[in-house]
Chain A
Amino acid sequence: MISLSTHSQSATRGIAGGQARANRRPHDIEEIISLILRWGVLISAAVVAVGVVLLLVTGSTGRAPLVFVPGRLLPDLGQGPTGPREAIRGLVPPQPYSIIALGLMLLILTPIVRVAASMVVFLRDRDRAYTVITFLVLVVLTVSFFLGAGAH
């Protein structure tokens, strides 16, 4: 058992869920998942921010100027991109619109990458039950994606 309350917080962080087995691993699953989420968020936020700043500086989405009706806060939004290819077709030369869309796609991908990575870690740790569970979640995610894509 782990002694209570004597640890500093940074020391207690090293103890993975009280499992002695996880102690010896240089990269336990919490560390890996936390890293994936942190970097996924940082990268996508940076890309979105670049796009938004560019949008404000140029006053144009790169496809159409930002038009505001007097007295209203909402600009003319136009049509959203339909599908990833349409969204990023304006990356060369860079359009604010497509840069933001790219950042959003990275943001959406982050949780999916997280599930896939945890499956790999469970597999590495020979944790059969959780390898199967995360695999099933990935399958369902894929099915739901295609169901939705086919339904419209």
Chain B
Amino acid sequence: MTALLFVLCLVAVSGVAGLIGSIMGLGGGIIVIPFLTLVLGVPIRLALGASIVSVIATSSGAASSYVADRLTNLRVGMFLELGTTTGAVTGALLAGLVPTRGLYLLFGLLLIYSAYSLFQRRQQELPGPVEPDRFSRRLNLRGEYYDQALGQRISYRATCALPALATMYGAGIASGLLGIGSGVFKVLAMDGLMRLPMKVSTATSNFMIGVTAAASAGVYFARGDVNPLLAGPVALGVLLGARVGAHLMTRLRNTFLRKAFIPILLYIAVEMLLRGIRG
């Protein structure tokens, strides 16, 4: 009986994480990790191991729909993956060499600024006409999708591919050094810099986070941090939540997604600032 309750509890909470994560383009670690450590009392190592599995489950679970619906921009995703993966490796190499306290403060402030700039654009449904730079045009970074909320086909073009790649590299370093998910930075770079529609930004971020997480999952597995008793039910819950999330997201408006993103940003920002202040 207790065993059933334990499994159902994990599946339910992970389901919520998968639902929110798949809609917002995040991994869901901000829900899974506090629940496991604070509510269940799981050691942080095992919580991180389960969380990395939940990121992969959120990504693959929703991405099959997003890719089929053409919401994911595969080219943008694969191009930016260059930055996130090399950044993650750099971050892993730098770990222990760089004081993280200042970085927490820096990224906390950066996220607060991003939340403010999202707030300013809260009414913007679509980015409007974008004149891509030469490099973005050469990489053919554009796309089309059918927007179910607006009831029309949307075609868009991306710009600022190189600055976005550099941002992804920085975000990769940060996630490697600070152990935070980089989904937030991916969404921000695609929405703010590349000027993709918000839906395309979260769907493409969702697509990318799986690869970044898979790279480090091998390490967690080798260390014995992926405990099947925890990570198994978590994976099932997240996969279910992500399926539902993928169906919901296509019907949501870009403005809704952007507004919903702001409180999440602020939550992560405050958490990082606190860590920076406490040292």
Interface assignment of B49: CB less than 8 Å from any CB of chain A? yes
Could you mark each residue 13-56 of chain B with 1 if its beta carbon is under 8 Å from any beta carbon of chain A, else 0? 00000000000000000000000000011100010010001001
Contact between chains at B3 and A66 (CB < 8 Å) = yes
Contact between chains at B222 and A152 (CB < 8 Å) = yes
Contact between chains at B146 and A52 (CB < 8 Å) = no
Contact between chains at A133 and B78 (CB < 8 Å) = yes
- Chain B residue nearest to A3 (CB atoms) is B153
Interface assignment of A94: CB less than 8 Å from any CB of chain B? no
Task: Answer whether A74 and B56 are a contact pair too, CB < 8 Å, given A55-B3, A145-B218.
Answer: no
Contact of A103 among B89, B139, B224, B232 (CB under 8 A): B232
Contact between chains at A77 and B211 (CB < 8 Å) = no
- Chain A residue nearest to B49 (CB atoms) is A80
Contact between chains at B2 and A80 (CB < 8 Å) = no
Interface assignment of B191: CB less than 8 Å from any CB of chain A? no
Question: Which residues from A are CB-within-8-Å of B183?
Answer: none
Could you mark each residue 82-107 of chain A with 1 if its beta carbon is under 8 Å from any beta carbon of chain B, else 0? 11100100000000011011011101
In the complex, what distance in Å separates the CA atom of A53 from the CA atom of B237?
A: 14
Contact of A144 among B4, B85, B148, B155 (CB under 8 A): B85
In the complex, what distance in Å separates the CA atom of A81 from the CA atom of B228?
A: 8
Question: Which residues from A are CB-within-8-Å of B222?
Answer: 82-83, 148-149, 152
Task: Answer whether A30 and B93 are a contact pair too, CB < 8 Å, given A74-B42, A140-B86.
Answer: no
In the complex, what distance in Å separates the CA atom of A77 from the CA atom of B243?
A: 29
Interface assignment of A136: CB less than 8 Å from any CB of chain B? yes
Contact between chains at B228 and A13 (CB < 8 Å) = no
In the complex, what distance in Å separates the CA atom of A79 from the CA atom of B231?
A: 13
- Chain A residue nearest to B143 (CB atoms) is A17
In the complex, what distance in Å separates the CA atom of A45 from the CA atom of B18?
A: 14
Contact between chains at B144 and A144 (CB < 8 Å) = no
Contact between chains at B86 and A147 (CB < 8 Å) = no
Contact between chains at B81 and A137 (CB < 8 Å) = yes
Contact of A108 among B56, B153, B155, B230 (CB under 8 A): B56
Q: 17 pairs across A/B with beta carbons < 8 Å?
A: A9-B146, A30-B68, A55-B7, A68-B3, A73-B40, A74-B42, A80-B224, A81-B224, A107-B56, A111-B56, A115-B81, A133-B79, A137-B82, A144-B89, A148-B219, A149-B222, A151-B92
Measuring CB to CB, which residues of chain B are less than 8 angstroms from any residue of chain A?
2-7, 9, 40-42, 46, 49, 53, 56-57, 59-61, 63-65, 67-70, 74-75, 78-79, 81-82, 85-86, 88-89, 92-93, 138-139, 142-144, 146, 148, 151-153, 155, 210-211, 213-219, 221-233, 235-236, 239
Measuring CB to CB, which residues of chain A are less than 8 angstroms from any residue of chain B?
2, 4-5, 7, 9, 12-13, 15-18, 29-31, 33-35, 37-38, 40-41, 44-45, 48-49, 51-52, 55-56, 59, 61, 66, 68, 72-75, 77-84, 87, 97-98, 100-101, 103-105, 107-112, 114-115, 118, 129-130, 133-134, 136-137, 140-141, 143-145, 147-149, 151-152
